[in-house]
Amino acid sequence: MTTIAHAIGNTDLPLLEETIGSAFDRIVAGNADREALIVPFQGIRHTYRQLAEHVDRLARGLLGLGLDKGDRVGMWSPNNAEWVYLQFAAAKVGVILVNINPAYQTEELRFALAQSGCRALVSATGFKTSDYAAMVGSVRGSLPDLEHVVFLGTPDWDALLAGGDHISSAELAARAASLTNLDPINIQYTSGTTGFPKGATLSHRNLLNNGQFLGEGFRYTDADRVCIPVPFYHCFGMVIGNLACLTHATTTVLPAPSFDALSTLQAIEAERCTSVLGVPTMFIAMLGHPEFNNFDLSSLRTGMMAGSPCPTEVMKQCVDEMHMHEVTIGYGMTETSPVSTQTSPDDPLEKRVGSVGRVHPHVQIKVIDAASGATVARNAPGELCTKGYSVMLGYWNEPQMTAEAIDADGWMHSGDLAVMDDQGYVSIVGRIKDMIIRGGENIYPREVEEFLYTHPDIVDVQVVGVPDQKYGEELVAWVHLRDGTTMTRDDLAAFCAGRIAHFKIPRYVHVTDDFPMTVTGKIQKYRMREISIDVLGLA
């Protein structure tokens, strides 16, 4: 009898049925003197008791602004301690935190603030080459809902905090008591790689439980110290990072406002971090840093590589050279809070480096035929779908988009092509939209990329399809080479000949030092296609 590609996670550990604020208070009460947050670039080192003092003062400040349960407050900033304070303070008073991408420009900022109806915005004054203060000034007049703007590092921030000093602890407790864990508490815009921004709306229950089960997957205890170089505006930073840390009373270490390979390596060594999070490009940057061999990374034990497909060779280097013998790979999407599958340290090496693991606790997954909706057999490709506590409440004020993503039975459709093997391990073979059809042959870019990673001169590679008059589509390999090496299409073809099918050998090679990507490190293949078509004159 054929086994279908459907799996249900274990339920041994019960779901947390509390708000993020109550979980925060519970963890603080039991771990008051443990280190909670370390931010070297701000000179900050908080115990859980000290972190709670900052969070509660900010929570009173939000009440002092007159913000009601369900009101929206935007956060536009790179990583810093204030981001952490606001994440937990907003949750304590039931104000929905709207994460705004640090890379946004004026019109994207206007859209996010208007679509979510933010009453307040907390913002950095600028980041890298972006003048946030000027951009906020240019859009504020067109946003009638936006009553309060608070810039970090200015008297605005001090005034926000002081404005809540008249709010009593009883008032704060009364607001917290009015909340339920099913309330929306976070909006994240999910347009990074394709399409128009959609505000995935997530509850306390969504986020807190995903953090709990991630921490269990990492085997965190209160002795762990977690380095978080990924951005808080994204689920990777605020859930896989902050909430996995909170639920297990670990220590959070922020190495820099945005990812920097050297700062991350320095923080891991200086703070004896046991875990580090990152997308593949971040690990590639750390492993390839000229000073990599000068750092003692022996404290590392675990962490996660996620956000985009993880090259097997890079995973092996993390295990062998960064001492991450219990590193995990996770898969998910913002709309599922985010993680649906995760590998385990007990998994065989080939599964830990070659899959995204098995279904998470209290979650169901299945692989379906995208055309018919029927669940496919194990080992057959199809669209991965997720159901359970982790599925978002919906897209903010977008019922039609929500109905297109979550079907009538509650399944969230990912748009990702996956294969589930006989043991329940899932492999992501690409995006449905990224699949290349060359002369009637279906080609999954991930398969070709994994093979090309074995070339000794290739540091990183991405494969996309471009139009072709004869075959419909042809393959372009974007390759990042080791310093001092060169590569032509003939060189690549010679390496591939006799080792992969002829129709999978890229027709074109584009040598580059970087790939178009989102601020979280997700490769934007649609941009690579556009650039390739232009450069190759295929329009």
Predicted confidence pLDDT, tens digits, the chain (539 residues): 689 999 999 999 999 999 999 999 999 999 999 999 999 999 999 999 999 999 999 999 999 999 999 999 999 999 999 999 999 999 999 999 999 989 888 988 999 999 999 999 999 999 999 999 999 999 999 999 999 999 999 999 999 999 999 999 999 999 999 999 999 999 999 864 444 689 999 999 999 999 999 999 999 999 999 999 999 999 999 999 999 999 999 999 999 999 999 999 999 999 999 999 998 889 999 999 999 999 999 999 999 998 777 778 888 999 999 999 999 999 999 999 999 999 999 998 889 888 999 999 999 999 999 889 999 999 999 999 999 999 999 999 999 999 999 999 999 999 999 999 999 999 988 878 888 888 777 788 888 998 999 999 999 999 999 988 888 889 999 999 999 999 999 999 999 998 888 889 999 999 999 899 877 677 888 899 999 999 999 98
| DSSP per-residue codes, 516-527 | -B-TT--B-HHH
Cα–Cα dist 401/415, whole Å: 14
| 29 to 36, 190, 389, 515: CA distances (angstroms) | 13, 35, 27, 45
Give every CB contact of residue 390 below 8 A, 6+ residues apart in sequence.
206, 209, 210, 332, 336, 337, 339, 340, 360, 362, 363
| DSSP H or E stretch at residue 75 | strand 72-76
> Do 508 and 475 touch, CB atoms closer than 8 A?
yes
> Do 248 and 260 touch, CB atoms closer than 8 A?
no
Cis check for the bond before 290: say yes or no (omega within 30 of 0). no
> Do 380 and 395 touch, CB atoms closer than 8 A?
no
Domains contained in the chain, CATH given:
18-36+45-180 (3.40.50.980), 435-535 (3.30.300.30)
Residues, the chain: 539
